[in-house]
């Protein structure tokens, strides 16, 4: 009896998740995303996420729509939308979107840094 006959067979490989991304995923993303800038970088990031199997379309695309809706809430202060490539590369589909303060409470001075500083101080209190 040799050494190799005592070894067990390796476990079967886990099946890869089924690719549920539609053929027109690039166009759907671009139409739905609230900031259309740096399309080439966005498409590269999007292709990389799809090919890598990082997330199912059924999770990814509803998150894009939720982000766009969250940004469109005109009753609350919202930051500038992230560049699309940044949103994809940082895997923002997993983010929890904060509620934000009502606009009536937000009193920006016109100086973006000052408003950000005020916002940070309020959060610390």
Neighbours of 30 (CB within 10 A): 15
d(CA 92, CA 77): 19
**119 compared with 84, residue with greater pLDDT:** 84
Question: Hey, CA dihedral for 72, 21, 56, 52, is it positive or negative?
Answer: negative
- Calpha distance 84→32 (Å, rounded): 11
Domain ranges of the chain: 20-96
Q: Which two tokens stand for residue 16?
A: 């890869």
- Tens of pLDDT, residue by residue over 59-69, are 999 999 999 99
Rounded to two decimals, what is the model's pTM?
A: 0.66
pLDDT at res. 109 = 47
Q: How far apart are the first and last CA of the chain?
A: 73
- Judged by DSSP in three states, 76 sits in strand
Q: How confident is the model over 18-34, as pLDDT tens digits?
A: 579 999 999 999 999 99
pLDDT at 65: 94
């Amino acid at each position: 009896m040799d050494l190799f006959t005592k070894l067990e067979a390796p476990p079967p490989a886990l099946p890869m998740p089924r690719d549920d991304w539609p053929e027109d995923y690039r166009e759907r993303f671009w139409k739905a995303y609230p900031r259309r800038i740096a399309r080439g970088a966005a498409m590269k990031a999007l292709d990389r996420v799809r090919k890598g199997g990082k997330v199912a379309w059924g999770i990814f695309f509803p998150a894009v729509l939720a982000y766009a809706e969250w940004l469109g809430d005109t009753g609350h202060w919202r930051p500038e939308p992230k560049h699309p490539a940044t949103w994809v590369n940082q895997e923002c589909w997993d983010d929890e979107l904060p509620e934000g303060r009502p606009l009536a409470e937000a009193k920006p001075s016109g100086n973006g840094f000052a408003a950000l500083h005020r916002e940070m101080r309020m959060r610390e209190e």
